[in-house]
Structure 1
Protein backbone atom coordinates (compact mmCIF):
# COMPACT_ATOMS: atom_id res chain seq x y z
CA UNK A 1 0.00 0.00 0.00
CA UNK A 2 1.30 3.48 -0.90
CA UNK A 3 2.08 5.75 2.04
CA UNK A 4 0.43 9.15 1.87
CA UNK A 5 2.20 12.31 3.01
CA UNK A 6 0.30 15.40 4.11
CA UNK A 7 2.36 18.51 3.39
CA UNK A 8 1.16 21.23 5.74
CA UNK A 9 1.90 24.88 5.30
CA UNK A 10 2.61 26.58 8.64
CA UNK A 11 1.53 30.23 8.63
CA UNK A 12 -2.25 30.74 8.44
CA UNK A 13 -2.70 26.99 8.13
CA UNK A 14 -1.51 25.49 11.42
CA UNK A 15 -1.64 28.81 13.27
CA UNK A 16 -3.17 32.25 12.77
CA UNK A 17 -0.20 34.27 11.53
CA UNK A 18 -2.43 37.22 10.61
CA UNK A 19 -3.22 37.68 14.32
CA UNK A 20 0.05 39.56 14.82
CA UNK A 21 2.99 37.36 13.84
CA UNK A 22 3.11 38.45 10.20
CA UNK A 23 3.12 42.06 11.35
CA UNK A 24 6.20 41.44 13.50
CA UNK A 25 8.00 39.63 10.67
CA UNK A 26 7.15 42.34 8.15
CA UNK A 27 8.39 45.08 10.49
CA UNK A 28 11.72 43.32 10.94
CA UNK A 29 12.07 42.63 7.22
CA UNK A 30 11.48 46.29 6.44
CA UNK A 31 14.03 47.38 9.05
CA UNK A 32 16.57 44.86 7.75
CA UNK A 33 16.18 46.03 4.15
CA UNK A 34 16.42 49.68 5.16
CA UNK A 35 19.62 49.10 7.14
CA UNK A 36 21.39 46.76 4.74
CA UNK A 37 20.33 48.36 1.44
CA UNK A 38 20.74 51.91 2.78
CA UNK A 39 17.23 53.05 1.88
CA UNK A 40 14.49 54.69 3.94
CA UNK A 41 11.73 52.73 5.64
CA UNK A 42 9.06 53.61 3.07
CA UNK A 43 11.23 52.39 0.20
CA UNK A 44 12.17 49.27 2.15
CA UNK A 45 8.53 48.44 2.85
CA UNK A 46 7.63 48.91 -0.81
CA UNK A 47 10.53 46.71 -1.92
CA UNK A 48 9.58 43.98 0.57
CA UNK A 49 6.04 43.88 -0.74
CA UNK A 50 7.15 44.04 -4.38
CA UNK A 51 9.46 41.06 -4.00
CA UNK A 52 6.72 39.09 -2.25
CA UNK A 53 4.27 39.86 -5.08
CA UNK A 54 6.77 39.13 -7.84
CA UNK A 55 8.45 36.02 -6.45
CA UNK A 56 6.28 34.64 -3.64
CA UNK A 57 8.85 35.55 -0.97
CA UNK A 58 10.94 38.59 -0.10
CA UNK A 59 13.86 36.19 0.29
CA UNK A 60 13.67 35.32 -3.40
CA UNK A 61 13.96 38.94 -4.46
CA UNK A 62 17.02 39.38 -2.28
CA UNK A 63 18.56 36.23 -3.71
CA UNK A 64 18.08 37.47 -7.27
CA UNK A 65 18.87 41.16 -6.93
CA UNK A 66 21.10 41.54 -3.86
CA UNK A 67 23.67 38.71 -3.85
CA UNK A 68 25.76 40.39 -1.14
CA UNK A 69 22.96 40.00 1.42
CA UNK A 70 23.51 37.08 3.81
CA UNK A 71 20.20 35.26 3.45
CA UNK A 72 20.61 33.15 6.58
CA UNK A 73 21.27 36.31 8.59
CA UNK A 74 18.18 37.89 7.01
CA UNK A 75 15.98 34.95 8.00
CA UNK A 76 17.30 34.89 11.55
CA UNK A 77 16.92 38.64 12.06
CA UNK A 78 13.40 38.78 10.67
CA UNK A 79 11.91 35.98 12.79
CA UNK A 80 12.52 37.12 16.39
CA UNK A 81 11.09 34.32 18.49
CA UNK A 82 10.91 36.33 21.71
CA UNK A 83 8.37 38.64 20.07
CA UNK A 84 6.64 36.01 17.95
CA UNK A 85 5.89 33.21 20.41
CA UNK A 86 3.65 35.26 22.76
CA UNK A 87 1.39 35.96 19.76
CA UNK A 88 1.08 32.33 18.67
CA UNK A 89 -2.52 31.16 18.15
CA UNK A 90 -2.92 27.55 16.98
CA UNK A 91 -5.88 26.80 14.76
CA UNK A 92 -8.90 25.42 16.65
CA UNK A 93 -9.08 21.60 16.72
CA UNK A 94 -5.46 21.37 15.56
CA UNK A 95 -4.31 18.67 17.99
CA UNK A 96 -7.38 16.49 17.43
CA UNK A 97 -7.18 16.76 13.64
CA UNK A 98 -3.50 15.89 13.45
CA UNK A 99 -3.97 12.97 15.84
CA UNK A 100 -6.75 11.43 13.75
CA UNK A 101 -5.61 12.23 10.21
CA UNK A 102 -4.20 9.05 8.62
CA UNK A 103 -0.80 9.17 6.91
CA UNK A 104 2.55 10.83 7.55
CA UNK A 105 2.56 14.58 8.13
CA UNK A 106 5.22 17.08 7.05
CA UNK A 107 5.54 20.81 7.69
CA UNK A 108 6.50 22.54 4.41
CA UNK A 109 7.10 26.21 5.16
CA UNK A 110 8.68 29.25 3.55
CA UNK A 111 9.83 30.27 7.02
CA UNK A 112 13.30 29.39 8.35
CA UNK A 113 13.84 26.15 10.23
CA UNK A 114 14.41 27.79 13.64
CA UNK A 115 11.02 29.49 13.33
CA UNK A 116 9.25 26.33 12.13
CA UNK A 117 10.70 24.19 14.91
CA UNK A 118 9.97 26.76 17.63
CA UNK A 119 6.33 27.22 16.64
CA UNK A 120 5.64 23.51 16.24
CA UNK A 121 7.23 22.86 19.63
CA UNK A 122 5.29 25.69 21.30
CA UNK A 123 2.02 24.31 19.92
CA UNK A 124 3.03 20.87 21.27
CA UNK A 125 2.32 19.13 17.97
CA UNK A 126 5.81 17.91 17.08
CA UNK A 127 4.99 14.22 17.79
CA UNK A 128 2.47 14.27 14.95
CA UNK A 129 5.05 15.20 12.31
CA UNK A 130 7.43 13.03 10.32
CA UNK A 131 9.58 16.04 9.30
CA UNK A 132 9.71 19.83 9.70
CA UNK A 133 11.11 21.64 6.67
CA UNK A 134 11.79 25.35 6.31
CA UNK A 135 13.27 27.21 3.38
CA UNK A 136 16.84 26.78 4.66
CA UNK A 137 16.31 23.00 4.66
CA UNK A 138 15.44 23.25 0.95
CA UNK A 139 18.52 25.10 -0.32
CA UNK A 140 16.69 28.42 0.28
CA UNK A 141 14.09 27.61 -2.35
CA UNK A 142 10.52 28.51 -1.46
CA UNK A 143 6.95 27.89 -2.49
CA UNK A 144 5.68 28.30 -5.17
CA UNK A 145 9.05 27.67 -6.87
CA UNK A 146 8.99 24.07 -8.17
CA UNK A 147 12.53 23.41 -6.94
CA UNK A 148 11.37 23.67 -3.32
CA UNK A 149 8.91 20.81 -3.93
CA UNK A 150 11.52 18.73 -5.76
CA UNK A 151 14.00 19.26 -2.92
CA UNK A 152 11.42 18.17 -0.35
CA UNK A 153 10.57 14.99 -2.26
CA UNK A 154 14.24 14.17 -2.77
CA UNK A 155 15.05 14.63 0.93
CA UNK A 156 12.15 12.46 2.05
CA UNK A 157 12.58 9.88 -0.73
CA UNK A 158 8.97 10.23 -1.82
CA UNK A 159 7.12 10.96 -5.06
CA UNK A 160 4.79 13.94 -5.66
CA UNK A 161 1.95 11.49 -6.30
CA UNK A 162 2.17 10.40 -2.65
CA UNK A 163 1.60 13.94 -1.39
CA UNK A 164 -1.48 15.87 -0.31
CA UNK A 165 -0.65 19.54 0.10
CA UNK A 166 -2.65 21.70 2.53
CA UNK A 167 -2.02 25.42 2.11
CA UNK A 168 -3.88 28.73 2.36
CA UNK A 169 -2.06 30.11 -0.71
CA UNK A 170 -3.49 29.23 -4.12
CA UNK A 171 -0.23 29.88 -6.00
CA UNK A 172 1.55 27.30 -3.83
CA UNK A 173 -1.17 24.77 -4.56
CA UNK A 174 -1.06 25.39 -8.30
CA UNK A 175 2.59 24.31 -8.37
CA UNK A 176 1.74 21.26 -6.28
CA UNK A 177 -1.03 20.32 -8.71
CA UNK A 178 1.27 20.74 -11.71
CA UNK A 179 3.76 18.33 -10.13
CA UNK A 180 1.08 15.69 -9.53
CA UNK A 181 0.25 16.31 -5.88
CA UNK A 182 -3.28 16.32 -4.52
CA UNK A 183 -4.29 19.72 -3.18
CA UNK A 184 -6.39 21.10 -0.34
CA UNK A 185 -7.02 24.84 -0.25
CA UNK A 186 -7.25 25.77 3.42
CA UNK A 187 -9.15 28.68 4.96
CA UNK A 188 -12.52 30.38 4.89
CA UNK A 189 -11.63 32.05 1.57
CA UNK A 190 -11.05 28.72 -0.19
CA UNK A 191 -13.12 27.41 -3.10
CA UNK A 192 -12.76 24.78 -5.78
CA UNK A 193 -10.74 25.57 -8.92
CA UNK A 194 -9.32 23.24 -11.60
CA UNK A 195 -6.11 22.89 -9.55
CA UNK A 196 -7.84 22.14 -6.24
CA UNK A 197 -9.01 18.66 -5.22
CA UNK A 198 -10.77 19.75 -2.02
CA UNK A 199 -11.31 22.73 0.26
CA UNK A 200 -11.08 22.91 4.04
CA UNK A 201 -12.38 26.05 5.74
CA UNK A 202 -11.06 24.84 9.11
CA UNK A 203 -9.07 22.04 10.71
CA UNK A 204 -11.96 19.77 11.63
CA UNK A 205 -13.16 19.73 8.01
CA UNK A 206 -9.91 18.04 6.98
CA UNK A 207 -11.06 14.87 8.69
CA UNK A 208 -14.30 14.89 6.71
CA UNK A 209 -12.57 15.11 3.33
CA UNK A 210 -9.58 12.86 4.09
CA UNK A 211 -11.18 9.66 2.83
CA UNK A 212 -11.85 11.25 -0.56
CA UNK A 213 -8.17 12.16 -0.95
CA UNK A 214 -6.48 8.96 0.22
Structure 2
Protein backbone atom coordinates (compact mmCIF):
# COMPACT_ATOMS: atom_id res chain seq x y z
CA UNK A 1 0.00 0.00 0.00
CA UNK A 2 1.47 3.35 -1.07
CA UNK A 3 1.32 6.61 0.90
CA UNK A 4 -0.04 4.95 4.02
CA UNK A 5 -1.85 7.21 6.47
CA UNK A 6 -2.30 6.06 10.07
CA UNK A 7 -5.51 7.20 11.79
CA UNK A 8 -5.33 6.73 15.55
CA UNK A 9 -8.07 6.79 18.11
CA UNK A 10 -6.91 8.42 21.34
CA UNK A 11 -8.42 6.96 24.52
CA UNK A 12 -7.62 3.28 25.15
CA UNK A 13 -5.58 3.24 21.94
CA UNK A 14 -2.68 5.66 22.41
CA UNK A 15 -3.00 5.49 26.19
CA UNK A 16 -4.88 3.56 28.87
CA UNK A 17 -7.91 5.72 29.71
CA UNK A 18 -9.77 3.04 31.65
CA UNK A 19 -7.62 3.28 34.77
CA UNK A 20 -8.22 6.93 35.74
CA UNK A 21 -9.57 9.09 32.90
CA UNK A 22 -12.78 7.26 31.95
CA UNK A 23 -14.03 6.87 35.54
CA UNK A 24 -13.52 10.62 36.02
CA UNK A 25 -15.38 11.47 32.77
CA UNK A 26 -18.23 9.11 33.65
CA UNK A 27 -18.64 10.75 37.06
CA UNK A 28 -18.52 14.22 35.50
CA UNK A 29 -21.16 13.31 32.91
CA UNK A 30 -23.45 11.83 35.55
CA UNK A 31 -23.08 14.99 37.65
CA UNK A 32 -23.85 17.13 34.59
CA UNK A 33 -27.05 15.19 33.93
CA UNK A 34 -28.03 15.47 37.59
CA UNK A 35 -27.56 19.22 37.56
CA UNK A 36 -29.02 20.11 34.17
CA UNK A 37 -31.81 17.54 33.91
CA UNK A 38 -32.73 17.57 37.63
CA UNK A 39 -32.15 13.83 38.05
CA UNK A 40 -30.93 11.86 41.02
CA UNK A 41 -27.58 10.08 40.69
CA UNK A 42 -29.02 6.67 39.81
CA UNK A 43 -31.32 8.02 37.09
CA UNK A 44 -28.60 10.26 35.67
CA UNK A 45 -26.11 7.39 35.48
CA UNK A 46 -28.70 5.13 33.82
CA UNK A 47 -29.54 7.80 31.22
CA UNK A 48 -25.84 8.44 30.52
CA UNK A 49 -25.33 4.74 29.84
CA UNK A 50 -28.51 4.47 27.76
CA UNK A 51 -27.50 7.29 25.43
CA UNK A 52 -23.95 5.94 25.14
CA UNK A 53 -25.21 2.47 24.19
CA UNK A 54 -27.89 3.76 21.80
CA UNK A 55 -25.97 6.54 20.03
CA UNK A 56 -22.31 5.77 20.66
CA UNK A 57 -21.94 8.90 22.79
CA UNK A 58 -23.88 10.38 25.70
CA UNK A 59 -23.63 13.80 24.05
CA UNK A 60 -25.54 12.61 20.96
CA UNK A 61 -28.53 11.62 23.07
CA UNK A 62 -28.44 14.86 25.04
CA UNK A 63 -28.36 16.97 21.88
CA UNK A 64 -31.12 14.95 20.25
CA UNK A 65 -33.52 14.77 23.18
CA UNK A 66 -32.67 17.74 25.42
CA UNK A 67 -31.15 20.40 23.16
CA UNK A 68 -27.91 20.35 25.15
CA UNK A 69 -25.22 22.81 24.04
CA UNK A 70 -22.33 20.51 23.02
CA UNK A 71 -19.52 22.95 23.86
CA UNK A 72 -20.97 23.57 27.32
CA UNK A 73 -21.29 19.85 27.96
CA UNK A 74 -17.82 18.95 26.69
CA UNK A 75 -16.11 21.73 28.60
CA UNK A 76 -17.75 20.88 31.92
CA UNK A 77 -17.32 17.11 31.63
CA UNK A 78 -13.67 17.22 30.54
CA UNK A 79 -12.09 19.22 33.35
CA UNK A 80 -9.07 17.45 34.85
CA UNK A 81 -7.31 19.26 37.71
CA UNK A 82 -4.93 16.32 37.99
CA UNK A 83 -4.66 15.09 34.40
CA UNK A 84 -0.88 14.74 34.58
CA UNK A 85 -1.23 12.06 37.23
CA UNK A 86 -4.14 10.35 35.46
CA UNK A 87 -2.54 9.88 32.03
CA UNK A 88 -0.39 6.75 31.95
CA UNK A 89 2.54 7.41 29.64
CA UNK A 90 4.47 4.70 27.81
CA UNK A 91 8.00 6.16 27.42
CA UNK A 92 8.71 4.24 24.18
CA UNK A 93 5.51 5.35 22.41
CA UNK A 94 7.13 8.33 20.68
CA UNK A 95 9.84 6.06 19.27
CA UNK A 96 7.25 3.54 18.04
CA UNK A 97 5.24 6.23 16.26
CA UNK A 98 8.35 7.63 14.60
CA UNK A 99 9.13 4.12 13.30
CA UNK A 100 5.81 3.93 11.42
CA UNK A 101 6.23 5.17 7.83
CA UNK A 102 3.59 7.56 6.59
CA UNK A 103 1.47 10.42 7.85
CA UNK A 104 -0.39 10.16 11.15
CA UNK A 105 -3.66 11.67 12.33
CA UNK A 106 -5.56 11.44 15.62
CA UNK A 107 -9.32 10.97 15.21
CA UNK A 108 -11.10 11.11 18.57
CA UNK A 109 -14.62 11.49 19.92
CA UNK A 110 -13.12 13.61 22.69
CA UNK A 111 -13.14 17.44 22.66
CA UNK A 112 -10.21 19.34 21.21
CA UNK A 113 -8.86 20.82 24.46
CA UNK A 114 -8.71 17.41 26.12
CA UNK A 115 -7.17 15.60 23.11
CA UNK A 116 -4.33 18.13 22.83
CA UNK A 117 -3.71 18.06 26.58
CA UNK A 118 -3.37 14.26 26.58
CA UNK A 119 -1.08 14.23 23.54
CA UNK A 120 1.17 16.81 25.22
CA UNK A 121 1.36 14.72 28.40
CA UNK A 122 2.16 11.63 26.33
CA UNK A 123 4.89 13.73 24.65
CA UNK A 124 3.75 12.71 21.19
CA UNK A 125 1.83 15.78 19.98
CA UNK A 126 4.47 16.55 17.36
CA UNK A 127 4.08 13.12 15.76
CA UNK A 128 0.71 13.92 14.17
CA UNK A 129 -0.22 15.98 11.12
CA UNK A 130 -3.67 16.69 12.50
CA UNK A 131 -5.91 16.11 15.51
CA UNK A 132 -9.53 15.70 14.51
CA UNK A 133 -11.72 16.02 17.60
CA UNK A 134 -15.50 15.80 17.95
CA UNK A 135 -15.92 19.51 17.19
CA UNK A 136 -14.59 18.91 13.66
CA UNK A 137 -17.27 16.24 13.06
CA UNK A 138 -20.03 18.72 13.92
CA UNK A 139 -20.57 16.66 17.08
CA UNK A 140 -21.38 13.50 15.13
CA UNK A 141 -18.95 11.07 16.78
CA UNK A 142 -17.64 7.78 15.50
CA UNK A 143 -19.01 5.36 14.37
CA UNK A 144 -21.07 7.89 12.36
CA UNK A 145 -19.56 7.92 8.85
CA UNK A 146 -19.86 11.72 8.67
CA UNK A 147 -16.65 12.26 10.63
CA UNK A 148 -14.74 9.65 8.62
CA UNK A 149 -15.79 11.26 5.34
CA UNK A 150 -14.91 14.71 6.61
CA UNK A 151 -11.43 13.50 7.59
CA UNK A 152 -10.88 11.95 4.16
CA UNK A 153 -11.96 15.12 2.39
CA UNK A 154 -9.95 17.35 4.73
CA UNK A 155 -6.72 15.50 3.91
CA UNK A 156 -7.62 14.53 0.32
CA UNK A 157 -7.31 10.85 1.09
CA UNK A 158 -8.76 7.67 -0.29
CA UNK A 159 -9.99 5.20 2.30
CA UNK A 160 -7.71 2.48 0.90
CA UNK A 161 -4.66 4.56 1.91
CA UNK A 162 -5.73 4.62 5.56
CA UNK A 163 -5.13 2.35 8.52
CA UNK A 164 -7.60 2.87 11.36
CA UNK A 165 -6.09 1.94 14.75
CA UNK A 166 -8.84 1.62 17.35
CA UNK A 167 -10.04 -0.17 20.47
CA UNK A 168 -13.72 0.08 19.46
CA UNK A 169 -15.12 -2.63 17.19
CA UNK A 170 -18.04 -0.40 16.14
CA UNK A 171 -15.63 2.26 14.90
CA UNK A 172 -13.47 -0.32 13.11
CA UNK A 173 -16.53 -1.75 11.40
CA UNK A 174 -17.43 1.72 10.13
CA UNK A 175 -13.86 2.26 8.89
CA UNK A 176 -13.82 -1.09 7.11
CA UNK A 177 -17.11 -0.34 5.32
CA UNK A 178 -15.46 2.73 3.84
CA UNK A 179 -12.51 0.65 2.61
CA UNK A 180 -9.91 1.38 5.29
CA UNK A 181 -7.46 -1.14 6.69
CA UNK A 182 -8.16 -1.87 10.35
CA UNK A 183 -6.09 -2.59 13.43
CA UNK A 184 -7.88 -3.60 16.62
CA UNK A 185 -6.11 -2.77 19.88
CA UNK A 186 -7.37 -5.43 22.26
CA UNK A 187 -6.51 -8.36 24.49
CA UNK A 188 -9.51 -10.36 23.23
CA UNK A 189 -8.92 -13.64 21.42
CA UNK A 190 -11.66 -13.32 18.77
CA UNK A 191 -10.99 -11.60 15.46
CA UNK A 192 -14.05 -10.27 13.61
CA UNK A 193 -13.97 -10.30 9.79
CA UNK A 194 -13.72 -6.48 9.60
CA UNK A 195 -10.44 -6.54 11.57
CA UNK A 196 -7.30 -6.96 9.45
CA UNK A 197 -4.75 -7.05 12.25
CA UNK A 198 -5.05 -7.42 16.01
CA UNK A 199 -2.46 -6.09 18.49
CA UNK A 200 -2.41 -6.08 22.26
CA UNK A 201 -1.20 -2.48 22.29
CA UNK A 202 0.17 0.11 19.86
CA UNK A 203 3.73 -0.79 20.82
CA UNK A 204 3.31 -3.89 18.61
CA UNK A 205 2.44 -1.89 15.47
CA UNK A 206 5.90 -1.81 13.83
CA UNK A 207 6.08 -5.62 13.95
CA UNK A 208 2.52 -5.93 12.65
CA UNK A 209 2.97 -3.69 9.59
CA UNK A 210 3.79 -6.53 7.20
CA UNK A 211 0.38 -8.08 7.90
CA UNK A 212 -1.36 -4.99 6.50
CA UNK A 213 0.13 -5.32 3.00
* TM bucket, shorter chain: over 0.9
Q: In the alignment, which residue of structure 2 is the partner of 1:22?
A: 22
State the match for 1:115 in structure 2: 114
Q: Determine if contact 2:3/2:161 at 8 Å carries over to the other structure.
A: yes
SS state at 1:165 partner: strand
1:133-212 to 2 correspondences below 5 Å = 133-189=132-188, 191-212=190-211
Superposed structure 1 runs of 4+ greater than 6 Å apart:
none
Give the superposition deviation at 1:37: 0.9
Q: Which runs of 5+ in 2 are unaligned?
A: none
Instruction: Say whether 1:41 aligns with 2:21.
Output: no
Query: 3-state SS of the aligned residue for 1:7?
Result: strand
| Per-residue deviation, residues 77-111 of structure 1 (Å, max 9, x unmatched) | 10113233321003463122101011111111010
Q: Deviations over 1:163-212 (max 9, x none)?
A: 10000110110000001110000021264211011001122321111133
Q: Secondary structure at the match of 1:82?
A: coil
When the two structures are superposed, what TM-score results if normalisation uses the length of structure 1?
0.94
> Superposition pairs for residues 27-106 of structure 1, below 5 Å?
27-67=27-67, 69-91=68-90, 93-106=92-105
CA RMSD of aligned residues (A): 1.5
Figure out how many residues of one structure are paired with residues of the other and give that number.
213
Unpaired runs of at least 5, structure 1: none
| Partner Cα separation in structure 1 for residue 176 and residue 59 of structure 2 | 24
User: Aligned in 2, Cα 1:92/1:183: closer, same or farther, shift over 3 Å?
Assistant: farther
Asked if 2 retains the 8 angstrom alpha-carbon contact of 1:91 and 1:203, the reply is no
Q: State TM-score, norm by structure 2.
A: 0.95
Could you tell which deviates more after superposition, 184-193 or 200-209? 184-193
